[in-house]
Structure 1
Amino acid sequence: MPTAFNFAASPFDCLTPAEQALVRDQVDIAYFRAGETVLASGQAPTHLFVVIKGFVQQFEPGDDQQAVASYGPDDSFDGRALVAGRASSRFVAAEEVLAYQLAHAAVNELIARNATFGALLFSDLSNKLGAIAERQSRHELQSLTLARVDEAYLRQPVFMDADADVLSAVRLFREKRTNTVLVRDGGRHGVFTANALQRAVLDGRPLDRLPLREVASFELVTVRASDPVGDALTVMVRHKVHRAVVLDALGAGTIVGVLEALDLFSFLSNHSYLISRDIAEAGDLPTLARAAEHITRLVALLARGGTRVGQIASLVQALNARLFERAWQLIAPADLVANSCLFVMGSEGRGEQLLRTDQDNGLLLRNGYAAPDDLPALCARFSEALASFGYPPCAGGVMLSNPAWRGMVSEFAERARGWLLQPTGEHLMALAIFLDAHAVCGDAALLAEVRARLFALATDHDAMLARFASAVEQFAAEDAHWWSRLLARDQPEREGVDLKKQGLFPIVHGVRSLALRAGVPETSTAARLDALVMAGQMERAQANDVLDSLHFFMDLKLKAGLHEMDTGHAVSGRVDLRRLSSLERDLLKDTLDVVKRFRRSLRSRFHLDQI
């Protein structure tokens, strides 16, 4: 029996010594000639195959022209067919193939003994990713940002009636050693804090006659006890508050405690809160530049600590929004800030940016507002400031400094209307960029107005929507080359692949196209997918696979970018396939297959074959 079986390859790298011995006892070797069918569609499989030498291609029933997947040395197939009882695809030797054969009974015994092996072998993408998480180190599994809010230090809620006076609340501060009192006023709750006490003093009325109702804030920021700590931190940053009221995990709305930002910061033991505070208190642009650098360090810290990539991106979006907002406040006069809306686009607008990339931003002005004469200079200064923070100028000029990306609401809405009515390649690109717009400073209602006008027009233009969606096919012709690169083991030094073309772009733009067609206003890919499912426009299983694939691609890009930074290279956005583990290569095939199937569904939905 073979003794050189590679137990370092997924999914066999999770087996115990006893389970490895079982494989050695049960495995055999098979030979297939070039062009020979290894496993036919509809056939009941008797073995799991593991390629030793050569390549095997997988074809869908009725389509012998284009392989949907390829398997090279150390890759295994078809675990799902073993479970289902018959193969749903045809597997053909692309050249002479040597492969291990592991009997069905042995595979069943391994699955019964080792749940992780089973998940990695035949489960769907989400379960495979879950199995990876279980295999990470204890430090990663217990990453503090993944801990529940109720595992952090919660302060016991202290309640008072809204009719109580401020002086009584201050006495309670001292008695309970707290600086936060929750105020009951009929069916609503508010909060009275030490900061609110300052307003009460400045009010001028005697504190023993001033009811809490008149000085408390009734716009509570809440989180659930079951929420991840990292999500709670993002909520505080986004709402610019130093505490959140914690509700019970069951969703009954019962207040169970108060989470203070300083307590949360102590729990996390990182600089997230300090970054947010430094941005808020920054009095000049150099201070903001230092904060931007700290954001990048925080991303590296969280990534290496095992934090989910979606959670990191959400926190980065919140911190960057604060950064851009403060920069604009330092540059623009207060009157301009109040009568405008600064917005960001691209991955920043979708909340999917991790490491700093090119600028994508714009500015809307309130109709009728007389903008200052030096508006062009102010916008140019803002673009220069972001460049000094490490956000390079956009090669396509999608920035405030470009007059095409600023203007009155009415003129910008007319410009966007032109993108729809004259759908040239350039206009459709501008439309795609703008659809991801997210307000970060000023009056967000200005952006909402332009977007509402745009959606009202877009849903009535089927031909335009089809042309818009057809961009998902832009890099489809490179699939075969991409797959050969994935399976090759001898790429030249530092040669990498661009996951944006084959992975990120078709997902992001495909979901964006579906959202535009359905009138979904959300900007993040995750929120768009949820809205599409709720509207009956997509099955939940497909939405989950698409989102899991997106996050997997983002995670690979982040790891590659951090490695480039650590080795003194500029972040290229490319991934070196040689650095991927066997399991990562396996998952990359799965996620690319999700992208292919998603493309096919888009072709059908938008009738792209007729364009």
Structure 2
Amino acid sequence: MDRLALERFQEEAFRVRSLQKLRALRDQVNEEFGRHLLFGEALEWNREVNAYHDALIRRVIALSEERLKEEQGKGAPLPYAFLLFGSGGRGEQTLWSDQDNGLIYADPSSVDERLEAERYFAELAARITEGLETVGYPPCHGQVLCTNEQWRKPLQDYRRMVNEWMQEPDWEHVRYLLITVDACAVYGDETLGRALVEEIYRYTAACPAMLEYMLCNTLHHKVSLGVFGQLIKERYGEDAGGVDVKYGAYIPIVNGIRLLAVEAGIRRSSTEERIKALIAGGHVSEEIGQDWLGALKLALKLRSMTPYQIEEGRYVTRGKLTADQLTKERVTELKHCLRIGADLQKYVKKSIHKEIDKRLGDR
């Protein structure tokens, strides 16, 4: 989609007063983006898709706010931010990504203000989630949602929660920490989201052993490449013969780069920006960094080519390329991406262990 068309869409989305019309607009723009996938530069295409998602989400939030104000006669009792996690936080949503979000608000100054904020933001979160579903975003299966009290609370409570996770770094807690590192405010007071993420960077810098726990989670998903260089394909079910691009290619790259960014203290959320910052800061050579960018481009493109369907009005996908899609050219691209991903995982493991030894040795 060209820049003028994207700007026109964003302007039209801002004017829409109904969720149903916003959904119709999304369907129209989804088709337009889908037609341009194979003809555009993957990173630029991805940036435009995510600018489009951000515009849709902001409009759903604004409409939810407006209608709640009409009913209750008052707006938000405290400054707040609507956070995107996962691919949304990284600015890497596909055309059919689901909801991964949270809501963070300023610390109340009294018990009454806390109760009022809890009531208001619980209702707002319900409206937003319902609105996003109407526009086609299914809720996160893992319940990383603003309607879940775990992901809707004041800053001080979020800080307390992430510190508890870091002090008891079991598998699930570290998984939540890595989810939170990707947080990005799409609406509202951005300083609240930054303060939350900063808590993790601060603790990790002071306690380098945390990197080892993060490394274990980071390397959990292996690339879909066998020891002899063959693709690891789905063996059973309706995806038999296909390849899991999301968890076999994209996620290993994203996870590895995220941990290198945490290690280096790079406060960026997108994988592309993290790689560029690693290069610019001298944390990785230009050659290796460019290889990572190339692999990211392929992973984003291939992930966006996976089939999707609409179920109960929501866009959904299993994140797998089908056997029919694995043409000779596609297999060559995929293997190249996976080889770089495998090398990246080895690099991350070596880098993290070296950094831990260095920090502990300096004490």
Q: Report the TM-score range of the alignment, normalised by the length of the smaller protein.
A: 0.7 to 0.9
Aligned-pair CA distance for 1:601: 1.1
Q: Compared with structure 1, are the counterparts of its residues 487 and 409 closer, same or farther at alpha carbon in structure 2 (3 Å cutoff)?
A: closer
Superposed counterparts of 1:372-387, under 5 Å: 373-387=119-133
- 2:91 is aligned to 351
CA deviation map 1:381-423 (0-9, x unaligned): 2112111211111111101100000111111112112222211
- 1:323 is aligned to 56
Q: Is the 8 A contact 2:81 2:103 kept in 1?
A: yes
Find the partner of 1:596 among 329, 342, 358.
342
| Cα distance in structure 1, aligned partners of 2:231 and 2:54 | 38
Gaps (5+ residues) in structure 2? 357-363
Aligned-pair CA distance for 1:523: 0.3
Aligned-pair CA distance for 1:476: 3.2
Aligned-pair CA distance for 1:485: 4.3
CA RMSD of aligned residues (A): 2.8
Aligned-pair CA distance for 1:477: 8.7
Aligned-pair CA distance for 1:527: 0.5
Count how many residue pairs are aligned between Structure 1 and Structure 2. 337
Match of 2:140, SS?
A: coil
CA deviation map 1:72-103 (0-9, x unaligned): xxxxxxxxxxxxxxxxxxxxxxxxxxxxxxxx
Q: Does 1:394 align with 2:140?
A: yes
Aligned-pair CA distance for 1:484: 4.2
| Cα distance in structure 2, aligned partners of 1:595 and 1:409 | 36
Aligned-pair CA distance for 1:452: 2.1
Superposed counterparts of 1:560-579, under 5 Å: 560-561=306-307, 571-579=317-325
Q: Compared with structure 1, are the counterparts of its residues 484 and 343 closer, same or farther at alpha carbon in structure 2 (3 Å cutoff)?
A: same
Q: Does 1:313 align with 2:20?
A: no
Gaps (5+ residues) in structure 1? 1-144, 146-229, 234-264, 266-270
Q: Does 1:450 align with 2:183?
A: no
| Cα distance in structure 2, aligned partners of 1:414 and 1:487 | 42
Q: Compared with structure 1, are the counterparts of its residues 491 and 433 closer, same or farther at alpha carbon in structure 2 (3 Å cutoff)?
A: closer
Aligned-pair CA distance for 1:442: 0.9
| Cα distance in structure 2, aligned partners of 1:330 and 1:388 | 13
Q: Compared with structure 1, are the counterparts of its residues 574 and 597 closer, same or farther at alpha carbon in structure 2 (3 Å cutoff)?
A: same
User: Relative to total residues, which structure has the larger strand share, 1 or 2?
Assistant: 1
| Cα distance in structure 1, aligned partners of 2:158 and 2:143 | 16
| Cα distance in structure 1, aligned partners of 2:160 and 2:233 | 49
| Cα distance in structure 2, aligned partners of 1:499 and 1:483 | 16
Q: After the TM superposition, list the runs of 4 or more consecutive aligned residues in structure 1 that deviate by more than 4 angstroms.
A: 481-488, 490-494
Q: Is the 8 A contact 2:100 2:144 kept in 1?
A: yes
Find the partner of 1:425 among 171, 181, 194.
171
Match of 1:476, SS?
A: coil
Q: Compared with structure 1, are the counterparts of its residues 498 and 539 closer, same or farther at alpha carbon in structure 2 (3 Å cutoff)?
A: same
Q: Does 1:472 align with 2:218?
A: yes
Q: Is the 8 A contact 1:486 1:577 kept in 2?
A: no
Q: Compared with structure 1, are the counterparts of its residues 329 and 510 closer, same or farther at alpha carbon in structure 2 (3 Å cutoff)?
A: same
Aligned-pair CA distance for 1:481: 8.0
- 2:302 is aligned to 556
CA deviation map 1:109-143 (0-9, x unaligned): xxxxxxxxxxxxxxxxxxxxxxxxxxxxxxxxxxx
Find the partner of 1:364 among 89, 97, 104.
104
Find the partner of 1:335 among 75, 78, 94.
75
CA deviation map 1:516-562 (0-9, x unaligned): 11111100001001111122211111111112112112212222336
Return 284-293 or 367-376, whichever deviates more: 367-376
CA deviation map 1:263-322 (0-9, x unaligned): xx3xxxxx4333212211122322222232233223213214x01121121112212212
Q: Compared with structure 1, are the counterparts of its residues 605 and 580 closer, same or farther at alpha carbon in structure 2 (3 Å cutoff)?
A: same
- 1:302 is aligned to 36
CA deviation map 1:237-276 (0-9, x unaligned): xxxxxxxxxxxxxxxxxxxxxxxxxxxx3xxxxx433321
Q: TM-score, normalised by structure 1?
A: 0.51
- 2:293 is aligned to 547
Superposed counterparts of 1:131-530, under 5 Å: 230=2, 233=3, 265=4, 271-304=5-38, 306-332=39-65, 333=69, 335-336=75-76, 339-368=79-108, 370=113, 371=117, 373-476=119-222, 479-480=225-226, 483-485=229-231, 494-495=239-240, 496-530=242-276
1:522 is aligned with what amino acid? Answer: R
| Cα distance in structure 2, aligned partners of 1:312 and 1:282 | 24
Q: Does 1:586 align with 2:332?
A: yes
Q: Compared with structure 1, are the counterparts of its residues 542 and 377 closer, same or farther at alpha carbon in structure 2 (3 Å cutoff)?
A: same
Match of 2:187, SS?
A: strand
Q: Which has the higher contact order (CA 8 A, sep 6+)?
A: 2
Return 518-527 or 271-280, whichever deviates more: 271-280
Match of 2:139, SS?
A: coil
- 2:361 is aligned to none
Aligned-pair CA distance for 1:575: 0.8
User: Relative to total residues, which structure has the larger helix share, 1 or 2?
Assistant: 2
1:400 is aligned with what amino acid? Answer: C
CA deviation map 1:408-445 (0-9, x unaligned): 11111121122222111111111111111111111111
| Cα distance in structure 2, aligned partners of 1:508 and 1:456 | 22
1:335 is aligned with what amino acid? Answer: G
Q: Is the 8 A contact 1:337 1:441 kept in 2?
A: no
Q: Compared with structure 1, are the counterparts of its residues 374 and 553 closer, same or farther at alpha carbon in structure 2 (3 Å cutoff)?
A: same
- 1:532 is aligned to 278
Match of 2:350, SS?
A: helix
| Cα distance in structure 1, aligned partners of 2:77 and 2:61 | 8
| Cα distance in structure 1, aligned partners of 2:237 and 2:131 | 38
Match of 2:218, SS?
A: helix
Q: Is the 8 A contact 2:291 2:340 kept in 1?
A: yes
Match of 2:306, SS?
A: helix
Aligned-pair CA distance for 1:571: 2.8
| Cα distance in structure 1, aligned partners of 2:222 and 2:264 | 25
Q: Is the 8 A contact 1:338 1:443 kept in 2?
A: no
Q: Is the 8 A contact 1:458 1:465 kept in 2?
A: yes
Higher alpha-carbon Rg: 1
Match of 1:560, SS?
A: coil
1:302 is aligned with what amino acid? Answer: H
| Cα distance in structure 1, aligned partners of 2:134 and 2:329 | 39
Q: Is the 8 A contact 2:218 2:259 kept in 1?
A: no
Q: Is the 8 A contact 1:288 1:389 kept in 2?
A: yes
CA deviation map 1:337-379 (0-9, x unaligned): 8711111111111111122222111111112263162432321
Q: Is the 8 A contact 1:344 1:437 kept in 2?
A: yes
Q: TM-score, normalised by structure 2?
A: 0.84
- 1:25 is aligned to none
